[in-house]
């Protein structure tokens, strides 16, 4: 009886070890090909099953694209972007284009330096001249627009101002025909 229970425990131990190894996926030579050739979905997360089409406002701009030209001219006519500036170059360090356009609006609405906002949003200190005029330097971590506004102008209602600037940004994309 004792040997039977030891044998059952050994079988159970080996079976669980095999299940754990199978759950980890293929290993060794050709593992990458075997993992990619599985017929099931690569993730059990249903959010990843849905194909996400990139929005044009978050996609990177081509310097000669009609969207870049339309948005640049629209922002220039509003006085948010200098006449000789290119939106793609201006927003190069900010991850989302819509965040950059919102920062342009927030800077204009509150009288904040865009270079400081850009530095806060991207986590990248643009240049030393801008760093000296900013309230605090970035520590390399990008902030949300609301937090960036708050760090530069603590007395402002940062959440409301960020929301207003984001609405203005959406209007710019809509009016510039971002579907082109």
**Mean pLDDT of each 10-residue bin along the chain, 180 residues long:** 75 65 53 50 59 44 67 90 86 88 94 89 69 62 90 92 95 74
Residue 113 lies in a domain: yes
Residue 35 lies in a domain: no
For the chain, what is the domain count?
1
Where would I find the H helices in 25-81?
31-36, 46-49, 66-77
Q: How far apart are CA 36 and CA 24, in angstroms?
A: 14
Q: How far apart are CA 133 and CA 119, in angstroms?
A: 12
Q: What is residue 55's predicted lDDT score, i.e. its pLDDT?
A: 41
pTM value is 0.61
Q: What is residue 19's predicted lDDT score, i.e. its pLDDT?
A: 55
Residue 109 lies in a domain: yes
Tell me which residue range forms the domain holding 157.
Answer: 66-175
């Amino acid at each position: 009886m004792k040997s039977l229970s030891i044998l059952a425990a050994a079988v159970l131990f080996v079976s669980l070890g095999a299940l754990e190894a199978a759950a980890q996926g293929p290993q060794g030579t050709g593992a990458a090909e075997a993992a990619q050739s599985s017929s099931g979905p690569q993730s059990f997360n249903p959010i990843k099953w849905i194909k996400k089409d990139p929005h044009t406002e978050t996609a990177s701009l081509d310097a000669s694209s009609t969207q870049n030209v339309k948005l640049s001219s629209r922002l220039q006519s509003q006085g948010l972007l200098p006449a000789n500036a290119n939106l793609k170059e201006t927003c190069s360090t900010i991850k989302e284009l819509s965040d950059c356009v919102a920062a342009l609006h927030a800077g204009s609405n509150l009288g904040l330096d865009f270079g400081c906002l850009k530095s806060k949003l991207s986590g990248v200190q643009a240049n030393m001249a801008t760093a000296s005029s900013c309230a605090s330097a970035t520590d390399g971590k990008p902030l949300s627009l609301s937090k960036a506004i708050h760090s530069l102008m603590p007395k402002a209602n940062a959440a409301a101002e960020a929301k207003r600037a984001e609405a203005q940004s959406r209007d710019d994309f809509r009016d510039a025909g971002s579907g082109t």
